[in-house]
Structure 1
Amino acid sequence: MEARTGFRLQGPLILWSAGLAVFSIVGAVRTWGYMGAVLLSGGLKPTVCFANHINQSIIQFWSCIFLLSKVIELGDTAFIILRKRPLIFVHWYHHSTVLVYTSFGYKNRVPAGGWFMTMNFGVHAIMYTYYTLKAANMKPPRVLAMLITSLQILQMFVGAIFGILTYIWRQEQGCHNTEEHFFWSLVLYTSYFILFVHFFRHTYIRPKVKAKTKNQ
C-alpha cells in the first residue's frame, strides 16, 4: 500500500472545493449581513451575550447548515489520504475539534456562536476559492495563501477576545453564557491560535530564513 501512488482526483477535487467555496460565500454574505446589522443596532454585547439574535430564523437556518457543513468538510481529509498528501496535525485537530465545538454550541445555543460561524464562513469563502484555483493548476499567488492563514490567526484572536468578554458579562441578567462555554472557547481558540501561528512561521517565514542562510 505504501508503495502505491495516490489517486490524482483533480476533477472531483475541483468540484468539491468549488462547491464549498460557493456555499461559504453565500453563507458569509447572509450571516455577515445579519450579524453586522445586529452589531450596528445594539452594539457588541447583544451579539456575544444574549440569545435574542440566534432565535431568528436566518441564524437558526444557517446554524443548522453550518453544523452539517462541518461533517461534510471531513471530506477534505479523505482527499488528502486518497491523494497520499501529508496529513498535518493542525488539519485533523482543527477539523475534528471544530465539529465537536460546533455541535456543543448548536445544542447549547451559545450566543457568541453566531460570530464563530460568521467568521468561519468568511475565511472559508477565500480559502476554498484558493483551493479551487490550486486544484485547477491555476497557481494562485503565494500571498493569497499567506492572507488566508493570517485571517485564520486573526479569527482565533478575535474569538478568544469574545470568549473573555462573555466571561466578564456572564453575570448580567439574561446573559446566556456559562463558565463551561468560556472555558472551552478559550481553550480551543488559544490552541488554534498557537497552531496557526506555528504553521505560518514554519511555512512562510522559516523557508526564507533558510534560503538567506544558504546564500550567505
Structure 2
Amino acid sequence: MNLNHTIFLSFKIRSEYQEAYDFEIYDVPKSLVYFSKYRSVLYGAIGVYLAFILLGQRWMRNRSPYGLNTALVFWNAGLAIFSIVSTIRGLPETIYLLSKPNGIYSIICEHDAHNYATAFWGLMFALSKFVELGDTVFIVLRKQRLIFLHWYHHITVLLLSWFGYEFADTFAHLYVVNTFVHSFMYTYYALRALKIKIPRRVAMLMTILQISQMVLYCFVNLYSLFEIGQGRPCNREASFLYGILLIIASYFVLFVNFFVRAYLRPSKTKTQ
C-alpha cells in the first residue's frame, strides 16, 4: 500500500455537494490495493492488444473488410452514453473544488474532499480504457488505416488511467475533462456510423477539443511541479507526474501533427 492509499484510509468521503447512489458506494482503499496487486492484467491486456493488431492485420490482408456498421453504431453510442453519465456524475466535485478560494490548488494537489460517486465513476473510467481498445478491433476488421497515434494513444491512456487510479492521484479529479470530450467524440462517431453527413468542420472541432485537453493536462502537471518546487504539499507521486507530463506532451505533438496533415495541408486522398 503506497502513501496515497494510506491517506485515502483517513478520508471522510464527503457528500454535501452530491449524494451517491447505493451502487456507487464501495470499498475504495481495497480497490486501490487490487489495482496494485493485479498489474499483470494490465500488461497482459496490452500484450494481447498488440498481438491482435499484428496478427489481425495479417489475417485481414487477403480478406474483404467486414461491414460491422450496426455493431459500430451501438458500440459508439454505448461509449457516448457512458461518457455523458460519467461527466454528469463527476462534474459536481470538480465544480465544488474549483469554487473554493484555492480551487486550482485543491483540485490538483489536495485530497481533502472526495465523493463516492466521483470515486466510482473514476474507477469505471479507468476500466473503460480496456473497453475502448475495442475501437481498434473495428479498424482492423474493417481494413481501415491504423495510424500510430491511434494505438499509441490507446495503450498509454490505459497505462495512465490504471496507475492514476492505483496511486489515488489527485489528477484523477479531472477525468471529467476526458469524458466530456469523449461525449462529443463518440456521439460524432455514432452519427458517422449511421451514415449521417456531418460537416468537415465538426471533425476539425473534435481534434481541437483533443488538443485543448492536452494543453490543460500539461498545465496541470506543470502546476504540480511548480507547487512541489515551492515546497507546498501536493499529493502526487513525483515519478508518475514526470511520466504523465512526458506522455501528454507527446499527445500534444501527435495531435497537432495530425490536425495539420488532415485539415491544413491539401491532400488528394480523403483522411479517414
- Normalising by structure 2, report the TM-score: 0.73
For residue 178 of structure 1, report the CA deviation from its aligned partner. Answer: 3.2
Report SS of the residue matched to 1:182.
helix
Q: Which residue of 1 aligns with 2:148?
A: 89
Distance 1:24 1:124 in 2: 6
Pick one of 106, 119, 122 that aligns with 2:180: 122
**Unaligned runs of at least 5 residues, structure 1:** 212-216
Q: Which residue of 2 aligns with 1:214?
A: none
Is the aligned partner of 1:41 residue 2:73? no
Q: Which residue of 2 aligns with 1:19?
A: 78
Q: Which residue of 2 aligns with 1:164?
A: 222
Distance 1:119 1:181 in 2: 19
Distance 1:61 1:9 in 2: 32
| Residues 122-166 of structure 1: per-residue CA shift (max 9 Å, x gap) | 110000000000000001111111111001001001100100111
Moved segments of 4+, more than 3 Å: none
Report SS of the residue matched to 1:139.
coil
For residue 52 of structure 1, report the CA deviation from its aligned partner. Answer: 2.5
Residue 148 of structure 2 aligns with an amino acid whose one-letter code is F
For residue 58 of structure 1, report the CA deviation from its aligned partner. Answer: 1.7
For residue 114 of structure 1, report the CA deviation from its aligned partner. Answer: 1.4
Distance 2:213 2:67 in 1: 32
Distance 2:112 2:118 in 1: 10
Maintained 8 Å contact 1:51/1:109: no
Q: Which residue of 2 aligns with 1:203?
A: 262
**Unaligned runs of at least 5 residues, structure 2:** 1-59
Distance 1:177 1:3 in 2: 49
Write 1 or 2 for the structure with the bigger share of helix.
1
Q: Which residue of 1 aligns with 2:131?
A: 72
Report SS of the residue matched to 1:207.
coil
| Residues 45-93 of structure 1: per-residue CA shift (max 9 Å, x gap) | 010001233x421221011100111000000001111111111100000
Residue 133 of structure 1 aligns with an amino acid whose one-letter code is L
The aligned length equals 207
Pick one of 169, 173, 182 that aligns with 1:110: 169
